Homo-oligomer: A and B are copies of this chain.
Amino acid sequence: MTQPGPVPKPPTLRDVAQRAGVHSGTASRALNPRTRSMVNSDTVKRVLRAAAALGYEPNPIARSLRTNKTHTVGMFIPDVSNPLFSSMVRGVERVLSEQDYALLLADTDNSVERESSLYTALRGRQVDGLVIATAQRDSPLIDRMLTDQVPFVLVNRVSLEHSTLAVTGDEASGVRQAVAHLAGLGHTRIAYLAGPQRTSTGVVRLAAFRQSMLEHGFTPLPEEIVECASWSEEAGSEAMARLCAAGLAATAVVAGNDMIAAGCYDVLREFGIGCPDDVSVIGFNDMPFVDKFSPPLTTVRLPNRELGEEGAALLLDRMAGQAPIAKTIVLPVSLVVRGSTAPPR
């Protein structure tokens, strides 16, 4: 059994310098790839060898204090436990870790207050940049980042007020594909269960729906477009119930996302309305297990993980001064046709 014993202090730059027989400044230059050219290649070799022998790792804290860079990126999301966002987190984390950046995660819980206090905390920790996947439209976050001049990129949302770096799925195309698919099946009366209009995604999708309907020459009745209180199953149920109560004449329903579609399923079953026999349903996001629904859900797949990856890459470029201040990357989305859509009868 090994004794606990004190942990030996990690070697510092000076230890390395001493062992290599040079001064710490030289060791610093030799170790830093960017300044390495300033030093004799023999010396470089000696320093490198000494560093390796001692198992030297630069102390990022000290480095940060000196350089004002932390090699750390913060990410704001409403809720990690939502698969939609966790996929983005995964993408972000993956790209960052490849470049030796660390990810500081902040769950805002959809609270603007919490977002604000977390922002202060992250700023205090001197994150070099921020990935924003929260989409509350009334949040002052973007303004604050702009005045603080901290590099950031919006993921899965855009700003209507400012031009910024952003990576987003082609929401409009997704909605268009959904409507076109239904139209192709012969549907003409299509209802829409919109996500909350206080979120960026909510308004973008709804606008795209209206536009798509127009393009097909369909004119949805006002009561056939109902806004959900949140992106949840419960809100979806509630909205769908309202739709049914109003006397459902539509033969198809497009839901703002899969959660809402799931709520929709519940109400359909409750009312004894068959899917897809009586009404077709389309969701959004292609969340895990929606292919196991009965019937399996037709839905629009967003490249969430890629969204995160592209966002992180863009931010990294920006922080390196390689990217413009504003630029929007739009990633393609695809309709995944499953069993919840069929011709109207």
Contact = CB atoms under 8 A, between A and B. Distances in A.
Contacts of A305: 81
Contacts of A102: 104, 121-122, 125
Interface of A: 2, 4, 7, 57-62, 64-65, 70, 79-83, 86-87, 89-90, 93-94, 97, 100, 102-107, 118, 120-122, 124-126, 147-149, 262, 265, 287-290, 292-294, 305
Nearest to A2: B147
A121 B100 CA distance: 8
Nearest to A62: B65
A230 to B, nearest CB: 15
A65 B57 contact: no
Given A265-B292, A292-B293, 8 more contacts: A61-B64, A81-B87, A83-B83, A93-B107, A100-B121, A102-B122, A103-B104, A104-B104
A106 B93 CA distance: 7
Which of A70, A81, A86: most chain B Cβ within 10 A?
A: A81
Contacts of A294: 292-294
Nearest to A75: B105
A270 to B, nearest CB: 14
Contacts of A104: 102-105
Contact of A107 (B90, B107, B287): B90
Nearest to A124: B57
Contacts of A97: 106-107, 118, 121
Contacts of A70: 61
Contact of A120 (B57, B79, B118, B126): B57
